[in-house]
Copies of this chain bind each other. A is one copy, B any other.
Amino acid sequence: MIEAGRAAFAEHGSEAQMEDVARRAGVGVGTVYRHFPTKQALAEALIEERFDRTIAYVRALLDDEPDPWRAIERCFEYCAATQEQDRAWAAVLVLMAGGIGGMGPRQHQMQELLALEDQLIARACKAGVVRDDLTAADMPALFCALASVVQAGDRNWRRYLDLLLDGLRPR
């Protein structure tokens, strides 16, 4: 069920249709509604899950990636990869750039993610591998930008990512 929702929302973003979700799950729409009261609720559950996995990834990065620059690079690469697989997730990251407010319960997860980014950046800053005015507050816009390029279907988003990362280097 969740599985079907994941697939449908990943492919169509918020345009995903409840009937499509039901079909993929091999059940009727009524059954989908018995688990999630509205389409919005289903979408939220999926996004929450995605946030959790992202937070876990970045946390692991802090523990396991000794190279501060490489950690930042990998963080963006992970973002791009998940955004490519998941249209709904990309859309959420785009919205997040508009300010955390309004995004209800996801607000807390975003703050948690940004707190981790902050550590990533602090480490890189201290090592002198990123510009010294970079902060976690810059991240939402960067994720938003990356998400839209990836989602637009630019086959060569890797190139855009290179330009983005170069902009983060010390001047």
Contact = CB atoms under 8 A, between A and B. Distances in A.
A161 to B, nearest CB: 10
A116 interface: no
Interface stretch (A61-69, A71-79, A93-101): A93-101
B152 A94 contact: yes
Contacts of A145: 145-146, 148-149, 160, 164
Nearest to A95: B152
A141 B154 contact: yes
- Per DSSP, chain A at the interface is helix
A148 B146 CA distance: 9
A154 B148 CA distance: 14
A142 B145 CA distance: 9
B138 A144 contact: no
Contact of A167 (B95, B138, B154, B166): B166
Nearest to A162: B167
Nearest to A167: B167
Contacts of A149: 97, 141, 144-145
20 contacts: A94-B148, A96-B152, A97-B148, A97-B153, A97-B154, A131-B166, A138-B159, A138-B163, A140-B154, A141-B152, A141-B156, A141-B160, A144-B149, A145-B148, A145-B164, A163-B164, A163-B167, A163-B168, A166-B167, A167-B167
